[in-house]
Chain A
């Protein structure tokens, strides 16, 4: 494996190394969902796996190996996202354009009286979905289906729990536009989950 070639000093007799490598596919999909770029995703995963090999002695087994690897990968993904943000420092988001786009998008979501065109339905036992692996596949697919900025901002705000001012600063956007992006991301995510998981046909298929 390339990974082991990159770590010539690693004691590859440890059986956990093979197990680490076995999670590569999942980790690449995860990184792709966040970075939308195969090369960057591979870069993040490679760095995460190397960090995991170096730090495997610290893995105490209190979480699953996949959870531990994912937590390492998240930090690598964030590092890359920060790098991308700093690299595009001169490509500021056009605030006025964003608001116009958002209003036009809302026009598609709501009719002229402001009512939902596709009303949110009650979801049957959503808590139970959290226990199902296929639900998380659907969740990741929905997250990946968001526009890149929306996916990134939602991930930082909701998954990482970063404060909005920090996100605004890092993304170079105003707080009102941060809210616009998050609002749109939430509506789009709920629509996607309703379509792919909670909808009656999807539920019937399960």
Chain B
């Protein structure tokens, strides 16, 4: 659970990015994640890489 005004570090942000692959994030989670990603290039890279892993799996499945 993310508190209303909670600031995320990369450890928590990466966890939320992964969690977002499994379920929709709630409003607090989305807000906190957006604030973090606006300032953190490393986690933005991680977010893009999660998308790429998903794409890899899709291509792997379909050949």
Query: Chain A: interface residue count, which band?
Result: 35 or more
- Once A64-B63, A67-B63, A179-B18 are accepted as A-B contacts, the answer to whether A116 and B56 lie under 8 Å apart by CB is no
Judging by beta carbons under 8 Å apart, are B19 and A179 in contact? Answer: yes
Q: Which residues of A contact B56 (CB under 8 A)?
A: 130, 139
Q: Is the interface of B mostly helix, strand, loop or mixed?
A: helix
Q: Does A119 contact B (CB under 8 A)?
A: yes
- Interface bits B17-38 vs A (CB < 8 Å: 1, else 0): 0110110000000000000000
Q: Which residues of A contact B61 (CB under 8 A)?
A: 159-161
Query: Chain B: interface residue count, which band?
Result: 20 to 34
* Closest beta carbon of chain A to B35's beta carbon, Å: 14
Q: Which residues of A contact B15 (CB under 8 A)?
A: 183
Total cross-chain contacts (CB, 8 A): 81
- Kindly state the separation between the CA atoms of A161 and B12 in the bound complex, as whole angstroms: 25
Judging by beta carbons under 8 Å apart, are B45 and A121 in contact? Answer: yes
Q: Which residues of A contact B22 (CB under 8 A)?
A: 164, 175, 178-179, 182
23 contacts between A and B (CB under 8 A): A67-B63, A110-B9, A110-B10, A110-B11, A113-B9, A114-B11, A115-B10, A116-B14, A119-B42, A120-B43, A120-B45, A120-B46, A122-B41, A136-B60, A139-B60, A158-B57, A161-B61, A179-B18, A179-B19, A179-B22, A182-B21, A189-B53, A190-B50
